[in-house]
Structure 1
Amino acid sequence: MSPGDGNDDDLYGGTGQTRTRLPDGGQGDVYGGSARRPARSSSRSLITVVGVVVLLIAAIAFANRGDDASSDGASGKKTDTSPTAPTGTKAVASGFAHDKQGAQSAAANYAVALGSAEMFDKSRRHAIVDSVYAPDVAADRQARLDKVYAQEAFLSSIGLNNDGSAPSGSTFVSRIIPVGTKTTKFAGDSATVDIWYSSLFGLAGTDTKNPVSESWFTNTYELRWTGGDWKVTDFQQKDGPVPVGRDQRASTADDMAKAVEQYGGFTYAR
């Protein structure tokens, strides 16, 4: 699912660049934190509030694929609520390096996980939160997230059924696309990382009132080194920076649905 911030390091450990990398065969999966949903008019207001609340108090955003934390993103059963699941052997990577770059990698992957459609499925959401958050934070975040995602008014406002599934004939789209990361604070076993990203959110369908739209956010993750890996302890989100949009014609609902189904997201964001 997307709110502090700071300034200090550059992207990717000092090179000023961000890279996209597929997962190594030996990496396990972890679910992480971010997830802000795009929106329009009234939907945007509600989603933004929920996003901030959800991930401010838990994780505003979405997840990956699999019925448990180690499920295969490529071979899992396809449902209306998980067409945006990432491809690859593992849903999310783990075992991040105990340094600034490792903290940035963790934040980027957690953002992708928490920003996926699987956050709307209770069992998958639980696996994600348990994997992403520090043990002393996860239980509280879990309860808060369950309360938010169970609200029928919220689900209805974004066009989903009461169980979090997409209406018949529609494809639910929820993806985070990381653009860059920056470590703003680092003290050995704690780190604060900003991640700037674009978010796709909505329903691809001919009769939907919530078409897939693009939004831009910056999430700030507070991370702690625990159990041999980076874990989220808190999260904040803010709008932008937002680039000027080009004058391009929006794709049809059918084209958007096909694109989402044909192009799997990355299992390793950075």
Structure 2
Amino acid sequence: MSPDDDGYGNDSGRPNDGYSTLGGTRQTRTRLPDAQGGDGYGPRRPARGSRSLFTVLGVVVLLLAAIAFANMGGGDGDNGGDGARGSDAKKAGSAPTAATGTKPVTGKNGSIPSGYAHDEQGAQSAAANYSVALGSADMFDKGRRRAIATAVYAPAVASARQGDLDKVYSGEAFLANIGLSADGTAPAGQIFISRSNPVGTKVEKFNGDTATVSVWYSALFGLAGEGSKNPVSESWFTNTFDLTWINGDWKVTDFTQKDGPAPVGRDQAASPAGEMADAVEQFGGFTYAR
């Protein structure tokens, strides 16, 4: 982000005055007499360069010390670039997103990654990928929706969840409200977009074979194309999944959703409908892993 207009002045870190130079020293125009006895200009003014130089050197030393301190212990993962700093990261229960060396996924169940590690990392990877599957456009197709429910949910709850999901996603009033036909398809010339984009996960609870994991994500939803009455918009949600280790993998037993946290939107012009449709078709999704 550019600091041009944020009120912090220039981005060089140097005092913003007429005496500043590229080298960091501050020089004044001191008129020196031609002889030691003086020439009518009065007593010589002390040069400011040395005092300012010491000030600048002091700032540089402090800056270098701060950088060195910040880099100390970087290998322990407490400040691994996830937005939290120092002890705040530990208090928030956050974890680094750097590679752990553990393979996050070993296979697929249909189009959904499966075979997660039997630990906290595996539970977070499963929750992130299940959030993507449950928020995809495939949920509006009956056959694909049932396949997703079978792959994501624990066998004991999958059948009941399928029925609940069918009621929600097959409702004509609901489909009409978002601009889809009764069979869940988009109008001619338009593309239906529903995509979840996880930005982070957090373990709320972990007890060996059970885990509660929250996934914070942004969601794109709407119809892209000329004449769309429901243009693609962005929303932010947090899904919290209850997971159980069953038959060598993590499965969902229940989940809840809440709005946010939502950042302040930037002042960016919305892309044309055709450009948005092309982007969704051309840019594939990811397999998410801790």
TM surpasses 0.5: yes
Distance 1:257 1:193 in 2: 32
Q: Report the CA distance between 1:267 and its aligned residue.
A: 3.6
Distance 1:239 1:170 in 2: 27
Q: State whether structure 2 residue 202 is matched by structure 1 residue 179.
A: no
Q: Give the TM-score, by structure 1 length.
A: 0.70
Q: State whether structure 2 residue 185 is matched by structure 1 residue 165.
A: yes
**Match of 1:28?**
107
- Of the candidates 106, 112, 119, which is equivalent to residue 139 of structure 2? 119
Q: Give the TM-score, by structure 2 length.
A: 0.65
Q: Secondary structure of the residue that 1:249 maps to in structure 2?
A: coil
Letter in 2 for 1:201: F
CA RMSD of aligned residues (A): 1.9
Q: Report the CA distance between 1:28 and its aligned residue.
A: 2.6
Letter in 2 for 1:108: A
Letter in 2 for 1:218: T
Whether contact under 8 Å (1:92, 1:268) holds in the other structure is no
- Of the candidates 130, 134, 142, which is equivalent to residue 110 of structure 1? 130
Q: Report the CA distance between 1:94 and its aligned residue.
A: 0.7
- Of the candidates 216, 222, 229, which is equivalent to residue 202 of structure 1? 222
Structure 1 residues 195, 208: CA separation in 2 closer, same or farther (over 3 Å shift)? Answer: same
Please give the per-residue CA displacement for 1:103-146, whole angstroms capped at 9, x wherever unaligned.
00000000011111001111111111001000000000001111
- Of the candidates 158, 166, 173, which is equivalent to residue 153 of structure 1? 173
Q: Secondary structure of the residue that 2:284 maps to in structure 1?
A: coil
Letter in 2 for 1:238: K
Structure 1 residues 193, 8: CA separation in 2 closer, same or farther (over 3 Å shift)? Answer: farther
Q: State whether structure 2 residue 251 is matched by structure 1 residue 231.
A: yes
Whether contact under 8 Å (2:215, 2:238) holds in the other structure is yes
- Of the candidates 275, 280, 288, which is equivalent to residue 255 of structure 1? 275
Q: Report the CA distance between 1:8 and its aligned residue.
A: 7.1
- Kindly tell me the number of residue pairs found equivalent between the two proteins: 198
Q: Secondary structure of the residue that 2:230 maps to in structure 1?
A: coil
Q: Secondary structure of the residue that 1:162 maps to in structure 2?
A: coil
Q: Report the CA distance between 1:265 and its aligned residue.
A: 1.2
Question: For residues 2-17 of structure 1, what are the structure 2 equivalents within 5 Å?
Answer: 10-11=93-94, 14-15=95-96, 17=97
Q: Report the CA distance between 1:92 and its aligned residue.
A: 2.1
Unaligned residue ranges in structure 2 (runs of 5+): 1-89
Structure 1 residues 151, 118: CA separation in 2 closer, same or farther (over 3 Å shift)? Answer: same
Structure 1 residues 153, 134: CA separation in 2 closer, same or farther (over 3 Å shift)? Answer: same
- Of the candidates 178, 190, 209, which is equivalent to residue 189 of structure 1? 209
Distance 1:95 1:9 in 2: 28
Letter in 1 for 2:227: D
Please give the per-residue CA displacement for 1:192-250, whole angstroms capped at 9, x wherever unaligned.
00000000000001211110000000110000011110000000011111101100000
Hey, which bits of structure 1, 4+ residues long, moved more than 6 A? none
Distance 2:108 2:175 in 1: 28
Larger radius of gyration: 2
Whether contact under 8 Å (2:220, 2:232) holds in the other structure is yes
Structure 1 residues 216, 134: CA separation in 2 closer, same or farther (over 3 Å shift)? Answer: same
Q: Secondary structure of the residue that 2:121 maps to in structure 1?
A: helix
**Match of 1:100?**
120
Structure 1 residues 231, 9: CA separation in 2 closer, same or farther (over 3 Å shift)? Answer: farther
**Match of 1:219?**
239
Q: Secondary structure of the residue that 1:218 maps to in structure 2?
A: strand
**Match of 1:55?**
none
Structure 1 residues 140, 8: CA separation in 2 closer, same or farther (over 3 Å shift)? Answer: farther
Q: Relative contact order (alpha carbons < 8 A, sep ≥ 6): 1 or 2 greater? A: 1
Distance 2:136 2:257 in 1: 16
**Match of 1:131?**
151
Letter in 2 for 1:240: G
Distance 1:143 1:108 in 2: 23
Q: Report the CA distance between 1:18 and its aligned residue.
A: 6.8
Whether contact under 8 Å (2:113, 2:287) holds in the other structure is yes
Q: Secondary structure of the residue that 1:93 maps to in structure 2?
A: strand
Q: Report the CA distance between 1:9 and its aligned residue.
A: 6.5
Q: Report the CA distance between 1:148 and its aligned residue.
A: 1.4
